Amino acid sequence: MKIELRNISKTFGSFRALNDVSLSVESGELLALLGPSGSGKTTLLRIIAGLEDADLGSGPILFDGVSVSDRRVRERKVGFVFQHYALFRHMTVAKNIAFGLEVRPRCERPSRVEIRRRVRELLELVQLEGLANRYPCQLSGGQRQRVALARALALKPTVLLLDEPFGALDAKVRKELRNWLRRLHNEIHVTSVFVTHDQDEALELADRVVVTNLGKIEQIGTPDEVFHYPESEFVMNFVGDVNRFHGRLEDGKLCFADLWLEAPEDRDGTSGPARVFVRPHDLDVDIRPNGTPSLRALVADMHSAGPVVRLVLRSEGGHTLFAEISQARYRKLGLRAGSAVCVTPHNVRVFPDSS
Amino acid sequence: MFRALTARGALATAPSRVVTRERAPVRWLLTGAALAFLGVFLLVPLVAVFAEAFRKGVGAYLASFTDPLALSAIKLTLLVAAIAVPANLTFGLVAAWLVGKYEFKGKSALITLIDLPLAVSPVISGLIFVLLFGLHGALGGWLAQYNIQIIFAAPGIVLATMFVTFPYVAREVIPLMQEQGCEEEEAAISLGAGGWQTFRRVTLPNVKWALLYGVILCNARAMGEFGAVSVVSGHIRGKTNTIPLHVELLYNEYNFVAAFAVASLLVTLALVTLALKTVVEWKSRTAQTEFLPDLHNRETPDEDRTAEHLQDVWQLQGAQ
């Protein structure tokens, strides 16, 4: 099921939650809506589901080319997994999962035996076979999450929408469920959209990522594109850690933090003040200058417990820089607090101030 | 295990360490004062009611109920409760639904308004209806034209009772609905349930204990209301006397045995209400069972096993 949204706006009182947003979700895709809270991502998800209506004057919402704007939630056949799961607290796990089947009109309702069989299959799928007769309050967070997913899948939805699916879980469970959901999606290929404010989650899980900010879409792209080629300062800042400098573009040269570099190709025609961004892992750290333009700095602090070593550096010009180097390189350089180093930036992203 | 035992032992040997605990004489004095107060103001009157009622034996006690005037009072009280309680159940539920699930202008004003009957003296509540529907009231002339009598008749008693007992159901249900929000309803709708199905299968079961609790309190007040009813009833014997009014009447006529016998009905109602209330409170507490740790079911699923069951999913998702 392909989903298309055209020129969607939504205001709550005087607050503009969505501002003329257009988006298309390919059939079978797993798409992430990534943004800070208040960026409109949950509103967008709820509009796709039909839980919220877009403002008058918004364009249509198309499912496989057919407008569903006038269809109510129940007619859209979407599976929605709520942020806090919204399990029916007075029903057992099995009853929760069967709910969507049991409320169907009599003529469409499967037989009782059929419902029971379906519930059993779904419980096996989410691996909660032993818990059919438990109540939601007797389950852990991860288990509740899986019941919510099973309940949404029971109706064979053509679209699966998940609102912060792992938001309320602790870090380890979160990671495991994330992998499991990716596997599940690889096999069933139901068009899925999930909302998250966690960049790792979006980059790891999604086929494509939509970065939202202040009711607008900042960038749509694969996780690679969004991470390595951010189109705006906001995306650069929001997706991944970053060092930020004020600099100048002049005649094809870029100057920042007492350093002159060749301007990146896409910016060599412009001149004027600019903001300069470098990811921590794009800062090369060495003991001696290696011939390329580099900054002199002292190691102020370091954190070596982890897959990479994080360094806090203080440049001669008084700038604070964050760098990440591999454990092997860290040992080879033999760094300690106070060591003098040369820092060479790569993959510098520049956004002129006027933009 | 050993450490746990020693820790408990240490507590047992040093009770005075608990900073919030008073010395023994102070504790005894405070507890005794509370119990004496309860005894004098609650238990003694309670016993006195039954003692007075049975003073002239069981025969006289039972005879008090076979009196046609008593029977008519009982009937009227039951009738009033049978109308007022279901009406307030409906209105209370609707009001709670409105306040708990929707945002609108004037919501806080509505909540305050719901509490109004609790803030106003019942006598004033009765008087409002007299001023509205009485012969010299705002609508009195118009009603008289059509020969409709509200004041000094059963309709007035029902109205006054409904007014006084209005907040009980709404006040019990509103906080619960506000706390629960709309997420479950939204989930039900996204799963294909219609409005009525959502209400019957999700909203109502979630508030059923609070609702029942409200109804019990509402019923107790409806049957026991004196002030407002006294103003609108006109005390017409055998016609507009409810149980509380009948008790007053008997008492004023120095017919103590009959007065206390009929009063014992209301006291019994109160005791039954308390018992029901306790049961409902206990039920609603156990409905929220604590989390049971489970060693057999993992927090996260096993990826290899998921692959095994994907065959089933294919069937499940066959439509795609």
Q: Which pLDDT score, from 0 to 100, does residue B291 have?
A: 43
Q: What is the pLDDT of residue B89?
A: 95
CB atoms within 10 A of CB A229: 14
Each of the 320 residues of chain B gets a pLDDT tens digit; together they read 444 444 444 444 455 567 777 788 999 999 999 999 999 999 999 999 999 999 988 988 998 888 999 999 999 999 999 999 999 999 999 999 999 888 889 889 999 999 999 999 999 999 999 999 988 888 888 888 888 888 899 999 999 999 999 999 999 999 999 998 899 999 999 999 998 999 999 999 999 889 998 999 999 999 999 999 999 998 888 889 999 999 999 999 999 899 999 999 999 988 998 898 888 888 877 765 544 444 445 666 766 666 555 545 444 444 43
Residues of A in Cβ contact (< 8 Å) with B289: 135, 137-138
With CB atoms and an 8 Å threshold, state whether B306 touches A183: yes
What's the confidence (pLDDT) of residue A258?
Answer: 77
Minimal C-alpha gap between A114 and chain B (Å): 12
User: A238 burial class (0-12, 13-18, 19+ CB within 10 angstroms)?
Assistant: buried
Distance CA A53, CA B156 (A): 47
Q: Closest residue of A to B291, CA-based? A: A138
Which among A76, A80, A88, A118 is the top mutation candidate for probing chain B, defined by the most B β-carbons within 10 Å of its own β-carbon? Answer: A88
Q: Write down the pTM of the prediction.
A: 0.78
Residue of chain B with shortest Cα separation from A177:
B300
| Distance between A92 CA and the closest CA of chain B, angstroms | 12
Show residues of chain A in contact with B190, CB under 8 Å: 49, 51, 73-74, 78-80, 152
What would the two tokens of residue B121 be? 């003296």
Q: Predicted ipTM?
A: 0.83
pLDDT at position B288 is 55
**Distance in angstroms (rounded) separating the CA atoms of residues A302 and A334:** 12
The pLDDT assigned to B297 comes to 55
Predicted confidence at residue B12, as pLDDT, reads: 47
pLDDT of residue B1: 40
Domains of chain B: 67-319 (1.10.3720.10)
Query: Is the CB of A177 less than 8 angstroms away from the CB of B300?
Result: yes
Distance from CA of A121 to the nearest CA of B (A): 7
CA distance A153 to A147: 10
B136-170 pLDDT, tens digit each:
888 888 888 888 888 899 999 999 999 999 999 99
User: Which residue numbers in chain A have pLDDT < 50?
Assistant: none
- Interface A–B counts its CB contacts (< 8 A) at 149
Q: In sequence order, what are the residues at sequence separation of 6 or more whose Cβ sits closer than 8 angstroms to the Cβ of residue B82? A: none
Q: Which of B105, B179, B184, B191 best probes binding to A when mutated, by most A CB atoms within 10 angstroms?
A: B191
Residues of B near A (Cβ–Cβ under 8 Å) read 183-184, 186-194, 197, 201-202, 205-206, 287-292, 294, 296-303, 305-307, 309-310, 312-320
For residue A172, what pLDDT is reported? 84
Sign of the CA dihedral running B19, B20, B21, B27: positive
| B chain contacts of residue A154, beta-carbon cutoff 8 Å | 191
Residue A354: per-residue pLDDT: 67
- Of all residues in chain B, the one with the smallest CA distance to A180 is B303
Taking the C-alpha atoms of residue A195 and residue A166, their distance in angstroms, rounded to an integer, is 10
Look at B317 and A156 and tell me if their CB atoms are within 8 Å: yes
Q: Are strands A191-196 and A159-163 parallel, antiparallel or unpaired?
A: parallel
- Which of B192, B302, B319 lies closest to A100 in CB terms? B192
